[in-house]
Amino acid sequence: MKLEIIAEAFAIGSLILLALGNLISSNKFTFSNFSIPQKAGFELNIVGWLFMGGFWFLQIEHYMMIRDPVNAFLCLLGLPFFSYLAYHEYLNIAWKTPYPALAWLGAMTVVAGGIYFFVERVPLLAGWFINIVAHHSAFLLEVFNHGVTLQPIDYGTGSTWYRPGSSYQEVTVGVSADWKDPMAPSVNIILACTALQSMIIFVGGVLCTKADFKRRIYAFLATVPVIYFLNLVRNVSIIYLTYSHVWGDETFYYAHSLIGKGGSLFALIFLAVALFHYMPEMQNNILDLIDLTKRKKPDNIK
C-alpha cells in the first residue's frame, strides 16, 4: 500500500510539475514588478521528469506479476531515460539555451499522460470505455461466427469515482463463449485492451505539434481510428486463439504478450510514418530528441 501511495504521488506530481514547468519556461509571467524567471520552469521540469521515472520504476512489479515482460523491461528503462531528460533540463539552465523538442515532449507527456491517468483512475469512466470496446470486439467475433457473451462491468472493490491504480482493482468485462475449450482460461477485457494508451500518444503528439488545423485533422484521422480498429482485431485474435486452446496452457501468453504486442508495435511504427507525412514537424521533434546525445554547449558559454 505504501508503494502504491508513493507511485500515485509520483504520477500526479510529475504531471503537475511538467505542466507548470512547460508553461513557465515558454511564457513570460510578470506580476507588478516581479517576473517569474524561465529558470524556474526548467527546475520544475527536472523534478517532474524524475518523478515520472520513479513512477514507472515502481510499475515493474505489477507487470512481472501479470507476466508482461515487454512492459516490465520498458518500465526498467524508464528511470534512466527520464533522468537523462532531467539532466538536459539542467543543461537548459546551465547553458541558458532552451531545447524546443524537449519542451514538445513535456507538453505531449502532460496531455497524453493526463488523459490516461484520469480515465484509469475513475472506474466509472474506465468501465464505460472498456464496455464500448468489448461490445465492438464481440461484434467482430459474431461476424466470423464465433459469438461471445459479455458479462456486466465488474468494478472490483473500492470507490467507483476515484481509485489508485492496482492490479487487484482493475475494471473488467468478462467474455464467455459456448465454443470455448474447457481447458482454456477465461478472458477479460480491461483498460489495457482498449488501445487508449496508443491513441492518446498520437493525440498528444498532434495537439502539441505546431501545425495548421487542416493537417492536424488529417493526421488524427489517419492514425487514431486505425489504431482503434486494429486493436479490435487484436482482441478478437486473442480471444479466438485462447478459447480455441491452440497452444495449450501457454496460448494466452503467446497470443497476448508475444503476438499481440509484436503486432501492435509493428502497426504503431507504420502509423507513425503516416503521421510524419502529414506533420513533418513532429518527425523533426523526434529526431531532435534522438540527437540529444549530440547536444553541444553553445560557443558563448564558458
CA distances from 137 to 95, 147, 294 (A): 52, 10, 45
Read off the C-alpha cell for 191.
483498460
Q: Which of 75, 163, 208, 234 is catalytic?
A: 234
Note if 234 is an active site residue: yes
Selecting among 121, 193, 216, 295, the annotated active-site residue is 193
Rounded distance, CA 99 to CA 89, Å?
Answer: 8
Distance between CA 70 and CA 192 in Å, rounded? 14
158: enclosing H helix or E strand: none
SS3 assignment, position 32: coil
Question: How far is the C-alpha of 276 from the C-alpha of 284, rounded, in Å?
Answer: 9
| Distance in angstroms between the alpha carbons of the first and the last residue of the chain | 48
Amino acid identity, position 280:
P
Active-site residue list:
193, 234
